[in-house]
Amino acid sequence: MGGIAALAKQSGYQVTGCDANVYPPMSTQLEAQGIQLIEGYTADQTQLNPDLYVIGNAVSRGNPLMEAILNQGLPYTSGPQWLSEHVLQGQWVLAIAGTHGKTTTSSMLAWILECAGLAPGFLIGGVPENFSVSARLPGRPTQDEKSISPFFVIEADEYDTAFFDKRSKFVHYHPRTAVLNNLEFDHADIFDDLAAIEKQFHHLVRTIPQNGLVVSNVEESLQRVIAKGCWTPVELFGSEDKWHVANAKGDGSFDVMFGRECQGRLNWTIIGQHNQMNALASIAAARHVGVPVAQSIAALCVFKNVKRRMELRGIVNAISVYDDFAHHPTAIATTLDGLRAKVGKSRILAVLEPRSNTMKLGTMKAALPDSLTAADWVFCYGGNVDWDVAEALKPIEYKSQVFMQMDALIQAITNLAQPHDTILVMSNGGFDGIHQKLLDQLV
């Protein structure tokens, strides 16, 4: 919603908005773009008299402002619907869908197109460090500065659109190029099972034209989606006869392969096998719009990742503190595995806040212990959930501690940390600013 607000502002609209508990980097980005942010939802905000209310999917019935909008019969729409009608219409949309890696892959693809001089627009659920903003309108391509770029890269989320539109957000985007990164069960608050999510992904596939392209991971769940019916060419990645990785090294570098032919070597500092898959997907998608593979590889060699994706927040007394958005067990495991490959035998102190709706329901709690295998020590904040976190982590109780108070959590981490350790903080929220508090206390 913050990105949508930025696009509306860039389009010439006067934009205000309200939310609860907004934290950086989105809060600071909105301020930098001159967008007034009102804390909380009060009925008297209708006195601003906007032409249209754009409603995010975090808003539900009972929200005071939403009730006032309904009672007064004021005009409203969803964020994805507004995007479809006012930004994406007529664009060559490149949509990145999947349970994991949407933000990173969208950022990679947007950066590749930018380096190719194509000046794409984009809407990403994070802040790519190469751009410093999460959303912008298409610009003027290097090769034709009299026209506006037709390309728009969008992070395509399967979460529902709004309380009044229960379809997945991505069905509104009508991409010509679609990346299906991976597919696992998630969002247990709105989906009953994996089959329900696969159905939504198939709804997306059904909107892609015959002259488009589906770039898909080879994993079984996505192949079931495609088998339900696909009218678009498909390119697979993660398969040795299509896009795949070879000669990967611990520093993150690897050969980009298409079939048996090496397309070039990607030398970068981004860690983890999941990011290798993200890179392959972005390279394949960029090729669909005419970017040579060698040019894509060169662009990714200077890709800086996304804020809150293995973002180094600081080093104190040779102790590194990283911030990562991981909150699903698979994301936690792949993030830790990538970090382990980077730091070798040095100790990893994993700090976890189960905060997502799925985690709060306890749906994934049984998978938590295995997801934390690569960590030497695990510190978990259990203040946001109703289930017994300590019981869930009992298989790894020899290396885990659970805290209900932030001060005690921070003290325990700083007491244990020693030079050359890496502290990895994982949460999809602000986590009460724990990253800076740790850095301050480690001094």
Q: Give the pLDDT confidence score for residue 422 in this predicted structure.
A: 94
pLDDT for the residue 84: 96
197-217: buried (b, 16+ CB within 10 Å) or exposed (e) per residue?
bbebbbbbbebbeeebbbbbb
* Strand pairing report for 319-324 and 311-316: antiparallel
- pLDDT computed for residue 255 by the predictor: 95
Q: How far apart are CA 294 and CA 391, in angstroms?
A: 50
pLDDT band at 284 (very low <50, low <70, confident <90, very high): very high
pLDDT category, 188, cuts 50, 70, 90? Answer: low
In angstroms, the CA 295 to CA 287 distance is 10
DSSP readout, 219-273? Answer: -HHHHHHHHT---S-EEEESSTTSEEEES--TTS-EEEEETTEEEEEE--S--SH
Mean pLDDT of the residues in the chain: 90
- pLDDT value at position 245? 94
The pLDDT assigned to 171 comes to 95
Strands (E), 311-386: 311-316, 319-324, 348-352, 377-381
Q: What is the pLDDT of residues 219-230, one digit of tens each?
A: 899 999 999 999
Q: Return d(Cα 136, Cα 420) in angstroms, integer.
A: 39
CA distances for 225 relative to 61, 170, 199, angstroms = 33, 15, 7
> What is residue 119's predicted lDDT score, i.e. its pLDDT?
96
Instruction: Please provide residue 420's backbone torsions phi and psi, each rounded to the nearest 5 degrees.
Output: 80, 5
Torsion on CA atoms 42, 353, 276, 158, rounded to nearest 10: -40
Nearest Cα to Cα of residue 383 among 426, 362, 353: 353
Indicate if the pLDDT at residue 250 is higher than 80: no
Tens of pLDDT, residues 48-66: 999 999 999 999 999 999 9
Domains and CATH numbers, the chain: 2-74 (3.40.50.720), 81-300 (3.40.1190.10), 311-442 (3.90.190.20)
The predicted pLDDT at position 42 comes to 95
3-state secondary structure of 416: helix
Res. 377 pLDDT band, cuts 50 70 90: very high
Q: How confident is the model at residue 278 (pLDDT cuts 50, 70, 90)?
A: very high
Mean pLDDT on 371-375: 91
Global pTM value: 0.79
Segment 59-118, tens digit of pLDDT: 999 999 999 999 999 999 999 999 999 999 999 999 999 988 899 999 999 999 999 999
**pLDDT for the residue numbered 169:** 95
Average pLDDT, stretch 306-324? 85
Q: Lowest-pLDDT range, 121-125, 341-345, 349-353, 396-400? A: 341-345
The pLDDT > 70 percentage for the chain reads: 98
β-bridge mates for residue 402, sequence order: 380
Closest CA to 175 of 112, 282, 97: 97
Q: Summarize pLDDT for 137-156 with one digit per residue, the tens.
A: 999 998 888 899 999 999 99
DSSP state of 309: S
Highest average pLDDT, of 119-128, 267-276, 281-290, comes from 281-290
Query: Six-digit token pair at 16?
Result: 């205000």
